[in-house]
Amino acid sequence: MGLLDRLRQGGTPADWDALAARVPYGRFLGISVVPQADGGFLTRLAFDEKLIGNTVLPALHGGVIGAFLETAAMFQVLLDTESEHLPKPITLTVAYLRSAGPRETFARATITKQGRRVVSVRVEAWQEDPAKPVATAQGQFLVPSE
């Protein structure tokens, strides 16, 4: 059984690490995947100085937040579809709601519509309190045909 099939059935911590390791820029940013008791997962961005955009506040770079939301959405599409390949982003709209401080950030993605070729995803990112998102995004992804 392949990695994605194992993950779709729960997976081991090593399987989830292997999923995060698939994306080099995600590894560079410090993105990992945290399985949840309900069978779903959160995507986590560890804090590192190199992720800062504004050193005075300090706050994470808006581009890093965008990349994190996009990656979380891609993982969700990968696991919720039958495809063995990472989906391709078509469009992503990010609303920056609060400055993201120098600490870990979490994201949860929800598929809002799954078509045959295009999947629509909503993503929220937060730091200490899920009720206070730092950013939300809506994106459309193309699922490569096999």
Partner 1 sequence: MSGSKALELIGEDLQALVAHVPHARAIGLVVVDAQPGQIWLRVPYADFLVGNPETAVIHGGVITTLLDNGGGAAVMTALDELRAVATLDLRIDYMKPATPGRDILGHCHCHKVTRHVAFVRGTAYHDTPDDPIATAAMTFMVGANRTLPGLVRGA
Tokens of 123: 């993503």
Give, as ranges, the residues between 102 and 141 that touch partner 1 (CB under 8 A): none
Q: Which CB, 32 or 71, lies closer to partner 1?
A: 71
Q: Going residue by residue from 18 to 57, which x/- string records binding to partner 1, judged by CB under 8 A? A: ----xxxxxxxx-------------------xxxxxxxxx
- Supply the minimum distance, in Å, between the C-beta of residue 75 and partner 1: 12
The residue with tokens 């990010």 is 94
3-class state of residue 72 by DSSP: helix
Q: Which of 30, 41, 43, 71 lies at the binding interface for partner 1 (CB under 8 A)? A: 71
Give, as one character, the DSSP assignment of residue 74: H
Cis amide bond preceding 133, omega within 30:
no
Count the Cβ atoms, other than its own, within 10 Å of residue 16: 20
Residues that bind partner 1 (CB under 8 A): 22-29, 49-57, 59, 61-64, 66-68, 70-71, 85-86, 88-96, 99
